[in-house]
Structure formats: structure tokens, C-alpha cells
Amino acid sequence: MSLNADRSYKMKLRDVENAFKYRRIPYPKRSVELIALLAISCTFFLFMHTNKLNSRLKEMEVKLQPSEFSALGLTGNHISGHDAGKHDDINTLHGTYQYLKSTGQLDTLTAAQLNNTPKAEREFVLFNRLEKVGSQSMTKLLGHLGALHGFATYRNEIPPTKKIVYNFKEELAFAEELLELEEPSAYVEHTNWINFTAHDMPRPIYINLVRHPIQKVISAYYYHRHPMIYANSLLRNPNKPTERKEFFERSFNDCVRQRIAPECVFDSHLPYNQDWRRFTLHLCGNQNVCTHFNSEMATQIAKLHVEKEYAVVGSWEDTNITLAVLEAYIPRFFTDATNQYYSHQEKFMINATPHDSHLDEDVEAYLKQQFAYEIELYHFCKQRLYKQYIAIRKQVQVQDSSSTENRSV
């Protein structure tokens, strides 16, 4: 076992504390959690080694991804390998480009049209992160860039339990807490979108990340069954009941098919769907309509916020594109992000829990139906990201052409 695999949980926690400014919280000691951790230590050993191999493979995949097309000098890693041939799909970079070109929008497209950063009234990035979209990696990157560019990075303490939505007064209290933080700075927390203007508070620079909704749910399912993650949750929450062996051994396919656990039931009639980690709620906000799962109205509100409020909603599925857009649209915080990411990639490829992402045909069909609006919102965010990237590449090409003409004169 490597040194990294041998390091204890306390040592890892110390690394995090050195990188970020936390409000400290006590961690109660419980013998049952330690016994549970020891009982699954062998499984954890395999996870750690698989995790390391997965990280290495992912690093190779990112670096070896071919550019999708050469028009305008556009490059970027594709959504996934099995989509590589779908060049006319609107949900790919190439497809978005072709759509803009065919509809005449490409000629008038500018980066300024898609830049919400100037609307911000503070030098303050708010990353109201979703779960299982690579938010830990982005948090680490923010901390790394903060040390280089002179801004502070904060993240909230992790409470044992958290309300799914805030009322108006709770929103105001949260906004006031953020207003007390210095500028420039970045703040990270799992929380819903907040209308700061409604509270007479200055608007922050909103950012977020997305991932295919079904893959995100699968990842979350196995993440909470990872030995170390599960043991950590027991330490944070003394009242949490200890799960039986079946909890760890049951596959996601079986869980969804048999509707055994609450996190495997995706019913639009359930207000919170037993899962507050979905896209719509985070991007829609704390209104009652936002709590409805797979809701067309909640989805449209979320789209409006993405388009009008968020500076960048990126995705690690398109690493190069996301980093380039962050650099271009939020330079105060993300200058040199691409170079720093690839130069110190071992710092950012963290918190991955390898798992079987295979879906049985019936389960996949059920999830696509139940997540129809979530998937629609996901594609909307990706298309906007591609438009932002195309706009900056177009701008660079124009600048390069002007420079060439000036030199020739």
C-alpha cells in the first residue's frame, strides 16, 4: 500500500484545513463507527487502489482526448467516448457550432453577450455546488488559485443535517453572513440559488458545475456506500443508524428496480424526491415550486437563472472547455487555471469513488423518463458553456487576424 493509501483520516482532514479556512466543528467519537470501519477495511483497501488507478486513467483520458473539430481553432475534450461520432448533435460542441452557424447566430455572437460577471456587485465568487459533479476538485482549484492571485477561499462546515430549502428570513441571514466575508474571496457550500437583490444585498459572481443527471445519481448512490465516506458520515452524525450488510452490497440497478431505498425512488409526486442534490433545486432556488422533482416550471426558472445570473456553469466532462471559459469570463479568479490544473493535477483529482456505472435496459429507460427535465436542464447548461467557448475562440481569432494585418502593414 502506498503512503497516500496509508494516511489516516485525521491526516487527510489536516490537509484540508491547511488549504481552506474552516469554522471548526467537533467530531464525536463512537466505537460502533470504528468497528464498522475496521469491518470493511479490506474493501477500503481495494477501493483506494482502484481509485488511484481510476485517477491515472482519467488523467490520461483528458490529455489524450482529440479535438472535436478545427473550425475557429476550437478544441476541447468531448462529453464521452461513445458520443464521439455525433458531430451534428446540438448537445455537443460541434453540434452547437453548426447550429449557431446554420441559424446565422454565429456572425453576431460575442463573448460580452454571455458574460454575467460585470453584473456582479462584489469581487466575490459564490460556488453553490451540487454533489457528485466534481465540486471537491473545483473547491481545491479555487484554494490553489486563491493562494496565487491573492483571494481568500472559504467553505462552510459540514453539518449533520441541513434544511432542503430556506425561508425568506433564513435566506437573508445567510446573505448577511456572506456579506461579512472579505473581498476578493470565494465561498463554497451546498446551497440553493439566492436572490440577493430581493434582500438588498450586492450580487456575487455565481458559478457551478453539472454532470449528466443519471450518472450523478449513480455516483451519489455508491459514494454514500464507500467505506471511508460512510464512516465519516457516522462520525459527523452521532444519531445516524448503522446500516446492514445489504446496504453496501445492493447494486444500483437492483435498488431502482425494486424501489427498496428512498434514494432509489424517483417520483415526481414526492416534493423532495428524497434527494436534494438534483440540478433544478440548486439552480432554481428556495421557492416552493423549486422543490418539485422533474418539474417543467422549476426547470424553466433554473434555466433563467443560469442564463441571467451565473457567470459560468461548467462541467468536468469538458475539462479544457470549462477551464478556458472560466479564465475568459472570470479572469480575476481563474487566470492561468488551465496551466495550474494540469501542472498540479494530483491535487485536484480527489474524492472519486470508483463504481459500476452500467445500467440495465429497463432501469435506464425508467431513469430517462423520470429525469426528463433534469436532463433537459443539463443539456441547456452544456449548450450555454459551448456557446461561451465558441464566442471566446471567435474573439481570439479576430484578434489574431488583426495583429497579423497590423504586422503586414
Whether residue 87 is predicted with pLDDT greater than 50 in this model: the reply is: no
Lowest-confidence region among 5-19, 98-112, 140-154, 382-396: 5-19
Mean pLDDT taken over the chain = 79
Whether residue 25 is predicted with pLDDT greater than 60 in this model: the reply is: no
The H helix count followed by the E strand count for the chain is 19, 5
Q: What percent of the chain has pLDDT above 90?
A: 52
Write down the pLDDT at residue 123: 98
Give the model confidence (pLDDT) of 290-301 as tens digits: 988 888 999 999
Whether residue 95 is predicted with pLDDT greater than 90 in this model: the reply is: yes
Q: Is the C-alpha dihedral spanning 318, 320, 323, 325 positive or negative?
A: negative
Active-site annotation holds for 190? yes
Whether residue 406 is predicted with pLDDT greater than 50 in this model: the reply is: yes
Write down the pLDDT at residue 266: 86
| Rounded average pLDDT over 94-119 | 95
Write down the pLDDT at residue 22: 41
User: Which of the two residues, 361 and 267, has the higher pLDDT score?
Assistant: 361
Closest CA to 352 of 133, 65, 173: 133
Residue type, 218: I
Per the listing, cell 440559488 goes with 193
Helix boundaries (H) for 20-152: 31-39, 41-64, 93-102, 135-149
Write down the pLDDT at residue 16: 42
Whether residue 204 is predicted with pLDDT greater than 60 in this model: the reply is: yes
Whether residue 81 is predicted with pLDDT greater than 80 in this model: the reply is: no
| Rounded average pLDDT over 335-343 | 97
Write down the pLDDT at residue 402: 56
Write down the pLDDT at residue 78: 34
Write down the pLDDT at residue 27: 37
Whether residue 84 is predicted with pLDDT greater than 80 in this model: the reply is: no
Residue from 49, 87, 190, 224 carrying the catalytic annotation:
190
pTM of the model: 0.77
Instruction: Indicate the pLDDT class of residue 399, thresholds 50, 70 and 90.
Output: low
Instruction: Indicate the pLDDT class of residue 98, thresholds 50, 70 and 90.
Output: very high
Closest CA to 280 of 262, 303, 311: 303
Q: What is the DSSP string of 335-346?
A: TTHHHHHHHTHH
Write down the pLDDT at residue 38: 46
Give the model confidence (pLDDT) of 40-75 as tens digits: 544 444 444 444 444 444 444 433 333 334 445 454
Write down the pLDDT at residue 88: 53
Per the listing, cell 459551448 goes with 386
Write down the pLDDT at residue 235: 78
Greatest mean pLDDT range, 6-15, 54-63, 197-206, 271-280: 197-206
Instruction: Indicate the pLDDT class of residue 403, thresholds 50, 70 and 90.
Output: low
Q: How far apart are CA 41 and CA 99, in angstroms?
A: 52
User: Which of the two residues, 21 and 255, has the higher pLDDT score?
Assistant: 255
Write down the pLDDT at residue 61: 40
Whether residue 171 is predicted with pLDDT greater than 80 in this model: the reply is: yes
Write down the pLDDT at residue 234: 77
Write down the pLDDT at residue 276: 56
Whether residue 382 is predicted with pLDDT greater than 70 in this model: the reply is: yes
Closest CA to 340 of 332, 330, 348, 352: 348
Q: What is the CATH number of domain 3-402?
A: 3.40.50.300
Write down the pLDDT at residue 401: 54
How many residues would you count in the chain?
Answer: 409
| CA angle centred on 313, ends 309 and 316, rounded to 5° | 170
Write down the pLDDT at residue 66: 36
Whether residue 400 is predicted with pLDDT greater than 80 in this model: the reply is: no
Write down the pLDDT at residue 209: 97
Whether residue 17 is predicted with pLDDT greater than 60 in this model: the reply is: no
Name residue 314's beta-bridge partners.
209
Q: What is the DSSP string of 214-264?
A: HHHHHHHHHHTTSHHHHHHHHHH-TTPPPPPHHHHH--HHHHHHHT-SGGG
